[in-house]
Amino acid sequence: MRKKWWITGGAFGVGAVMLLVSGFSAMASTSGYDAYKSALKHTKEVTNLTADMKLAVTDNGTELLAGNADIKWDRKLNSGSVAASFDNHTQMHALNLFRQDGKVIVKSADDEIYRVKELDAYKWQEEGSTPNPPKVVEQIFDALMGNIRELATVESASDGGKQAELHLSGSQIPAIANVLGTLAVSKLAENDQQHLSFPKLTDNIKVEEINLDAKINASNVLEKQAAEINIAGTDDSGVQHDLVIELQVDFRDLNQTVPERVDLTGKQIVEIKDEETKRGWHH
């Protein structure tokens, strides 16, 4: 497997999660945030669930990357599985990830090798626990986000559920968002220029719009989360680029999901050490 694609998938995956979590956290002290926070708590208490994730990245209306992931998670068993694929319209890469029996197992569609990482028993000894960020982190973030917390809204739906939203544009977008946006597009361009044709923005980089939406069902459980971020800038040639990153997560099969497992008997296995994880995989 090419390291570039691991970087791409990891960067987008982590970035997407950060966008959703930080964005909705910015709704603190508003009815929109209160509704979301309550639904998030109930969703985390569900025994197991399936999350269908879709990712799309476009540049001036042309799709650069499409990604899909089917995630199954069991909180009490502390086990899960992910089937994911990324397509840049030139190459498609797919992988499967399993968390089972105190291990993380990764299998790329590019080869027949199962990469296995033993989890630290001390870190993972508490079954089903989901850590929350330290309180100081929330306080710092609230201070950075300023008054945009007041812009979150919540509306009741005809089916008994709710719709929580935070839509920002222009001067509503905090300076920290532009700093993080600039850093993100720069790093992605550095890592993936050869494989993704991600534009290398060098001037006038600005986050122009952030849209965060959550659909909450009548049982006060998250049904759907969506995030969209628009970033504009110019490259070395002075060409204007309008990047749009979209992420959607649909939750289903609550308390009816069984994560996939893999039988490693007779399989070609490569054990991943801690030092290899820090360096990155070079396959």
pTM: 0.77
Which residues fall within 8 angstroms of residue 84, CB to CB, at 6 or more apart? 9, 67, 68, 69, 70, 94, 95, 96, 97
The reported pLDDT for the residue numbered 146 is 55
The reported pLDDT for the residue numbered 135 is 59
Closest residue by Cα to residue 229 from 265, 276, 275, 182? 182
The reported pLDDT for the residue numbered 143 is 58
Which residues fall within 8 angstroms of residue 111, CB to CB, at 6 or more apart? 1, 283
Are 229 and 44 in contact by the 8 Å Cβ rule? The answer is: no
The reported pLDDT for the residue numbered 283 is 43
d(CA 157, CA 165): 13
Are 113 and 125 in contact by the 8 Å Cβ rule? The answer is: no
Please report, in tens digits, the pLDDT of each residue of the chain (283 residues total).
444 444 444 444 444 444 444 444 444 344 676 787 788 888 989 999 999 999 999 999 999 989 999 999 999 999 999 999 999 888 889 999 999 999 999 999 999 999 999 987 545 444 445 455 555 555 555 555 556 666 778 888 899 999 988 898 988 887 777 777 777 777 776 665 445 678 888 888 899 999 989 999 999 999 999 999 999 999 989 999 999 999 999 999 999 999 999 999 999 999 987 655 555 444 4
Strands 203-216 and 222-234: antiparallel
| Helix residue ranges, H only, the chain | 3-25, 31-44, 135-145, 175-196, 274-279
DSSP state of 22: H
